[in-house]
Amino acid sequence: MSEQSKEVERSQNAGLAVIKPDAVRDPGIEPHRVRMTDKSPKHAKSAARQVALLFTLSMFGSAFALWTYFAFPINEDLNTVRQNTLFLGVGITLGLLGIGIGAIHWAKTLMPDHEVAEDRHLLASPEDKRAAAIEIINLANQESGFTRRKLIRRTLYGALALFPLPGLIIFGDLGPNPGNSLRHTIWKKGTRLARDPYGTPIKASDVTIGSVYHVVPEGLVPGTEHYLEEKAKAAVLLVRVEPDKLIETEERKSWSYQGIVAYSKICTHVGCPVALYEQHTHHLLCPCHQSTFDLVDGCKVVFGPAARPLPQLPIYVDEEGYLRAQSDFNEPVGPSFWDRSVKS
Amino acid sequence: MSSTSNQPKKNNFLAGTANYVDERLGVAGVLKEFGRKIFPDHWSFMLGEVALYSFLVLLLSGTFLTFFFDPSMTEVVYDGVYAPLKGAHMSIAYASSLDITFEVRGGLLMRQVHHWSALLFVAAAGLHMLRVFFTGAFRKPREMNWVVGFVLFVLGMGAGFTGYSLPDDLLSGNGLRIIDGMIKGIPFIGTWISSFLFGGEFPGTSIVPRLYSLHIMLIPALILVFLAIHLVMLVVHKHTHYSGAGKKDTNIVGYPLMPVYVAKAGGFFFIVFGVIMLISSFFTINPIWNYGGYDPSPVSAGTQPDWYIGWLDGALRLAPTGMEFMIGDFTVSMNILLPLAVSLIFLALVAVYPFIENWITGDKREHHVLDRPRNAPVRTAIGAAGVMFYAILWAGASTDLIATQFKMSLNQVLTAMQISLIVLPIVSFMVTKRICLSLQRKDREVAIHGRETGRIVRLPHGEYIEVHEPLNEYELYKLVDYKDYQPTLARPNAAGKITVRARIRASLSKFYFKDRVSPATQSEIEEARHHAEEIEQEVQKAIESAK
């Protein structure tokens, strides 16, 4: 054991380590294995040629990439995009790999590969340096009176604690008070149900048994103000099932129309659109986290991480046969939030 | 040329430049200090390098993309060359991503380079972390550097997620929708945070520009700072090396920085860059033109996040049904808070592991020789359990694909995952620990008795033996040079009291070191050699008498 390692053993606690007095002796670094390029000038020369060839290949690749930039322009034809990407990429690849492989081949075959040992030194500073450092800190403390002058110190702490607060408060306008925005959608009494994304109203007679309609409130079309924000809350899924299959509470009997039911499409888990409908089980499935809702039983959760049924949109049919909303949803749609059940 | 200079006049550009720079910066001293610094050689040391180089590629390709990308969420009607989307309403962010793809030469290539290198960056950083964990490279004096590396990994995930969301396509918008849903589930302040993040209601028109600021400024700046700290610490600590003959805690064995490492590491940068470029020229990633711009209503089945976010998404999926409950009028979304808590606790455990292990072993010495994973069985087993836990969460993000690909019931796949999440980490802990101990026993046996030669000899009294050949001293040393710890008892402190702390430490040390295989000692090996020589004499005698 070298002097230095003994010093380490002494100065630093080995804890639960078992120190064996008759550990196997370290034979030292393994002798160097001679490479072909070390002993044969012919091999060394051919290795040098290979390295040069790789570097040349790199030059060729880069030049090729420059050429392709002009030779493969892109236009309306999407094939040109593919070609531009492919040939430009292959040229640059050659330019890069030629350098990389060449340099490593050079290092491995022609540069010395004798393993060398270098001493490490304990990271902790020697005692005299530590003492000097402590002395400097003490001196600084003495000269400034940091410990002695309590009033200065405490007011400084106070000042340092308060000064970041304005820096935080100026972020207050990042967003408005959420207020009631999460509790309402643009559905209201009489809004016609329309097809997403065309915006054409839907007649009850168009909705055959088993068919699914992706629905938005009439008038909500791309280009209208807050289109995405409103759609993110108001999207609805409309399905018609055999009326006798519906399991409805007394209160909700009037919310459907001859087996046509409308439910919020926004998952009550984290808000993905519940877009998949399985006709023979009447299940709605959210493709994000697989929450599954039973459409005929009030969209109750039958599987997955969601906790609450999808909110139902009460609907009726007007004299012309169009489907209309009786009102807005009677609870907030989408993901749960802390005070969603608090009456406001 | 004037002849007043007393410098020896040499027509050598290199020497001239070196002289010019040194007279102004004094770099010769730096070169003297670092030019021949020793770096150890091992393939596993390249994983961190891959991460570093992918980051450089990210900076290069990302800078290119910023020149063409416009993060505005203002709605426009698309009028570019991509026919299927002509006339569609979309954000400028999405439209400019399409323009980069279809109207800028090399634009699609750079988008793919950027995305592939991001995936590689997080992957390489993760593997690098595993290498550091399983070889015990986080031990004193490198605990702080482990934490810095951990921060880099988390920042890498953050950079990935913010970048993924920028094109404002259908998939990334759904990713943001999920984040929004999770944030809203946070008690008291959830809806406020959501409103602050999105500048009002989801999706609003603020989120992409805000993520853009984070993605191209704040996060890369933080990564650069932490990367600098990471590398400075690497130089201060000097690199670790694997155990083997001549390799000690007091030295470093390897090749000099100049020229070998400059060539190898420099060349390796070009190889990493080249491989990323090769993948990007041939393989499409994130074909945003197929998804369309963000719309809160449609979503396609089988949507997947980028791989490094998968484990968080999996945690969300694996939450059991019906975990949400009410306290009075208030909703507590445990189906969101539980996965969030599990993920955060998992990350926290990863961050503090070095300090836990150090507290248990109490070993305050510097460690520069790496452990072979088998020689730290419990640590390796804990690592395996952690990897399994992560892997199940990760696979959890693909329950639907597993179910459809293998024609299984989605419900059963999910239930199996939920059970596996608890059971399999425990199983992999036990199996890994046993494998490590067996390998250690095998090592010990080989060290003491030598290698099996396959030479079977029948002795005169009828016994068959296999002749063992002793190892050479270099091979032998590799098998016996490791740190061996033994459990401790809870000891009373100065006041004569056994504290709870001491008890916990004692039971943890028992958990870690109860099953241990200590390395073969010189005397054990000599004894075995002596015995082997006796047998060899007997064999020789038998051969002679047979003649």
Do A100 and A194 reside in the same domain of the chain?
no
Q: Would you state the structure tokens that stand for residue B502, as one six-digit string?
A: 């001491």
The reply to whether A25 falls in a domain is no
The reply to whether A4 falls in a domain is no
Distance from C-alpha of B182 to C-alpha of B333, rounded to nearest angstrom: 9
The closest alpha carbon to B148, from B169, B127, B167, B129, belongs to B129
Do A291 and A193 reside in the same domain of the chain?
yes
pTM beyond cutoff 0.90: yes
In terms of CA atoms, which chain A residue is nearest residue B313?
A289
Q: Does the beta carbon of B363 lie under 8 angstroms from any beta carbon of chain A?
A: yes
The reply to whether A344 falls in a domain is no
Distance from C-alpha of B541 to C-alpha of A30, rounded to nearest angstrom: 36
Residue B149 pLDDT > 90 = yes
Q: How many domains does chain A have?
A: 2
Burial (0-12, 13-18, 19+ Cβ within 10 Å), B443 = buried
The reply to whether A161 falls in a domain is no
Do A214 and A93 reside in the same domain of the chain?
no
Distance from C-alpha of A294 to C-alpha of B319, rounded to nearest angstrom: 19
pLDDT at A1: 43
Do A224 and A313 reside in the same domain of the chain?
yes
The reply to whether A107 falls in a domain is yes
Q: Does the beta carbon of B94 lie under 8 angstroms from any beta carbon of chain A?
A: no
Q: Which of residues 17-76 of A touch B (CB under 8 A)?
A: 17-18, 20, 22-30, 69, 72-76
Q: Does the beta carbon of A120 lie under 8 angstroms from any beta carbon of chain B?
A: yes
The DSSP string of B205-252 is TTHHHHHHHIIIIIHHHHHHHHHHHHHHHHHHH---EES-TT--TTEE
Q: Encode pLDDT of A293-335 as tens digits.
A: 999 999 999 999 999 999 999 999 999 999 999 999 999 999 9
What is the CATH classification number for the domain harbouring A251? 2.102.10.10
Q: Does the beta carbon of B322 lie under 8 angstroms from any beta carbon of chain A?
A: yes
Site from A4, A6, A11, A16 to mutate, B interface, most B CB atoms within 10 angstroms: A16
The reply to whether A261 falls in a domain is yes
The closest alpha carbon to B297, from A195, A191, A311, A327, belongs to A195
pLDDT at B264: 94
Do A112 and A192 reside in the same domain of the chain?
no
What's the one-letter identity of residue A138?
N
Question: Is-contact B301 B400, C-beta < 8 A?
Answer: yes
Residue B2 pLDDT > 50 = no
Q: What is the extent of the structural domain holding A76?
A: 35-116
pLDDT at A197: 82
Distance to chain A for B400, nearest Cα, Å: 7
Distance from C-alpha of B113 to C-alpha of B286, rounded to nearest angstrom: 11
CB atoms under 10 Å from CB of A174, counted, come to: 16
Q: Encode pLDDT of A260-300 as tens digits.
A: 999 999 999 999 999 889 888 999 999 899 999 999 999 99
C-alpha of A240 from chain center: 37
Q: Encode pLDDT of B355-408 as tens digits.
A: 999 999 999 999 999 999 999 999 999 999 999 999 999 999 999 899 989 999
Nearest to B263 among A106, A177, A290 (CB): A106
pLDDT at B534: 86
Torsion sign over Cα A89, A93, A94, A99: positive
The DSSP string of A195-220 is ETTT--B-BGGG--TT-EEEEEETT-
Do A198 and A292 reside in the same domain of the chain?
yes
Q: Encode pLDDT of B216-226 as tens digits.
A: 999 999 999 99
Question: Is-contact B514 B487, C-beta < 8 A?
Answer: yes
What's the one-letter identity of residue B363?
D
The DSSP string of A317-331 is E-TTSBEEESSS-SS
For B181, residues 6+ apart whose C-beta sits below 8 A from its C-beta are A267, A269, A270, A271, A272, A334, A335, B336
The reply to whether A24 falls in a domain is no
A87, A116, A145 - which closes a domain: A116
What's the one-letter identity of residue A140?
A
Instruction: Decide if B109 and A341 are in contact by the 8 Å CB cutoff.
Output: no
Q: Does the beta carbon of B84 lie under 8 angstroms from any beta carbon of chain A?
A: no
User: pLDDT band for position B27 (50/70/90)?
Assistant: confident
Do A91 and A199 reside in the same domain of the chain?
no
Do A201 and A318 reside in the same domain of the chain?
yes
Q: Which domains does chain B have, with CATH numbers?
A: 42-242+256-292+306-371 (1.20.810.10), 442-546 (no CATH)
Do A198 and A77 reside in the same domain of the chain?
no
ipTM comes to 0.93
Residue whose entry in the numeric block shows the structure tokens 């808590």: B341
The reply to whether A48 falls in a domain is yes
Distance from C-alpha of A142 to C-alpha of B539, rounded to nearest angstrom: 82
Lowest mean pLDDT among A11-20, A58-67, A334-343, B288-297: A11-20
Do A210 and A110 reside in the same domain of the chain?
no
Mutual angle of helices B500-513 and B334-361, in 10-degree steps: 90
Do A100 and A192 reside in the same domain of the chain?
no
Q: Which of residues 300-319 of A touch B (CB under 8 A)?
A: 301, 303-308
CB atoms under 10 Å from CB of B441, counted, come to: 12
A116, A146, A175 - which closes a domain: A116
CB atoms under 10 Å from CB of B203, counted, come to: 24
Do A315 and A232 reside in the same domain of the chain?
yes
Distance from C-alpha of B203 to C-alpha of B176, rounded to nearest angstrom: 8
Question: What are the φ and ψ backbone dihedral angles of B454, each rounded to 5 degrees?
Answer: 80, 5
Q: Kind of pairing, strands B241-242 and B369-370?
A: parallel
Q: Encode pLDDT of B492-507 as tens digits.
A: 888 889 999 999 999 9
Query: Stretch A122-146: mean pLDDT, rounded?
Result: 94
Q: Encode pLDDT of B508-522 as tens digits.
A: 999 999 999 999 999
Contacts of A181 in chain B (CB under 8 A): 200-201
Distance from C-alpha of A299 to C-alpha of A292, rounded to nearest angstrom: 9
pLDDT at A6: 54
Distance from C-alpha of B347 to C-alpha of A220, rounded to nearest angstrom: 43
Instruction: Decide if A305 and B518 are in contact by the 8 Å CB cutoff.
Output: no
Q: Does the beta carbon of B37 lie under 8 angstroms from any beta carbon of chain A?
A: yes
